[in-house]
Amino acid sequence: MGYKVVVVGATGNVGKEMLNILAEREFPVDEITALASRKSLGTEVSFGDKTLKTQDLDTFDFTGWDIALFAIGSDATKIYAPKAASQGCVVIDNSSLYRYDPDIPLIVPEVNADDVVRYKNKNIIANPNCSTAQMVVALKPLHDRARIKRVVVSTYQSVSGTGKEAIDELWNQTKGIYVPGQEVAPSVYPKQIAFNVIPHIDVFLDSGDTKEEWKMVVETKKILDPKIKVTATCVRVPVFVGHSEAVNIEFEDYLDWEEATDILREAPGVLVVDKREAGGYITPIECVGEYATYVSRIRQDETVENGLNIWVVSDNLRKGAALNAVQIAEVLGSRCLKKG
């Protein structure tokens, strides 16, 4: 006996990846439906070797469905997620809408899978921000060993984190630089993204931080440990898929880089690539389509008493979004719903 699963926002980048990963991981599906807005009604999407035609989200009845994976913006989620939840369908939401609600669990299965039982509070589980998800996967096993005091992270985030329009803008701007007369002015981003980096993701707050930076701080505390101090600088880079992070960690106890490497090699969801030679590290282009959170450049930081530096890379459409949502569904099924 399997699950009746709904993918909401099935025509977007993350929604398509959710369908791909459900099929790849052979999630026990008895029935699956792809939902989209009315303008995308009837659009065909793939689920394994099957083709699904999208149905209208606005008129869909969630009664009798087990799990809904939401990959739409916060405004639409605010309308449809409570509807699905009230009709008995457990919502796993990829937007930021519910992440900071104390009654709703924010889950990265490798880190805090036990919190999934709290879905019963509102029949909703939140999926974290893409940049947070991969970082806490790498931090958790190190925190268990030496207790993290402070994290300083600088991100290098791909344009797919913004969406299809941003991917098109990078592609078209890059072509336009080489073809006279085909130059493309910025529209998705405030400045040119091709051959450039932009230290601005989401809106600016009164503190001078951006909302993306704030998200990383608050979500790390909620998922991993409220005592950890976090400061972030989030930067958009001209990469299509794959987020990278330079992470500086200060621990309460001493942890040398060799033991840290051994710990990370055994950690769930982590793949260490660290040869300390030319090319002996991971870059975003190599992580595309992969499940793992990759860690490289593991080394001591001698400027603080118990410091370590690591380089963390992952496919933001997968571990940063769709994969994590499907992993949550797997934990929900095995620990709570128990149908598959």
Mean pLDDT (the chain, rounded): 97
Domains and CATH numbers, the chain: 3-127+321-336 (3.40.50.720), 131-158+197-314 (3.30.360.10)
Lowest mean pLDDT across 14-23, 35-44, 100-109:
35-44
**Residues acting as catalytic residues:** 130, 243
Confidence of residue 253 (pLDDT cuts 50, 70, 90): very high
Q: Looking at this protein, which amino acid is placed at residue 192?
A: Q
pLDDT at 181 over 80: yes
Confidence of residue 185 (pLDDT cuts 50, 70, 90): very high
296 CB-near residues (< 8 Å, 6+ apart): 272, 273, 274, 280, 281, 282, 310, 311, 313
**Other residues' Cβ atoms within 10 Å of the Cβ of residue 120:** 11
90 CB-near residues (< 8 Å, 6+ apart): 66, 67, 68, 119, 123, 124, 125, 332, 337
Three-state DSSP at 161 gives: helix
Provide the pLDDT for residue 340.
62
Secondary structure letter of residue 117 according to DSSP: G
143 CB-near residues (< 8 Å, 6+ apart): 224, 225, 228
Confidence of residue 339 (pLDDT cuts 50, 70, 90): confident
155 CB burial (10 A radius; 0-12, 13-18, 19+) = buried
Label the pairing between strands 67-70 and 3-8.
parallel
Q: Which residues are annotated as a binding site?
A: 11-14, 39-40, 99, 157, 160-161, 236, 316
Question: Closest Cα to residue 70, out of 83, 138, 195, 59?
Answer: 83
Question: Taking residues 5-14, what's their average pLDDT?
Answer: 96
pLDDT at 63 over 80: yes
Question: Taking residues 146-161, what's their average pLDDT?
Answer: 98
pLDDT tens column, 69-83: 999 999 999 999 999
Q: Which residues are annotated as a binding site for NADP(+)?
A: 11-14, 39-40, 160-161, 316
> Terminus-to-terminus CA distance in the chain, angstroms?
6
Three-state DSSP at 88 gives: coil
- Percent of the chain at pLDDT above 70? 100
Q: Which residues pair with 293 in a beta bridge?
A: 270
Question: Closest Cα to residue 9, out of 91, 71, 85?
Answer: 71
Confidence of residue 142 (pLDDT cuts 50, 70, 90): very high
pLDDT tens column, 158-175: 999 999 999 999 999 999
Distance from C-alpha of 124 to C-alpha of 115, rounded to nearest angstrom: 12
241 CB burial (10 A radius; 0-12, 13-18, 19+) = buried
Element (H, E) at 307: strand 307-314
Question: Closest Cα to residue 219, out of 104, 331, 318?
Answer: 104
Secondary structure letter of residue 318 according to DSSP: I
Lowest mean pLDDT across 36-40, 61-65, 163-167:
36-40
Q: Which residues are annotated as a binding site for substrate?
A: 157, 236
Confidence of residue 1 (pLDDT cuts 50, 70, 90): confident
Three-state DSSP at 119 gives: helix
Q: 106 with 126: CB under 8 angstroms?
A: yes
Q: Which residues are annotated as a binding site for phosphate?
A: 99
Three-state DSSP at 133 gives: helix
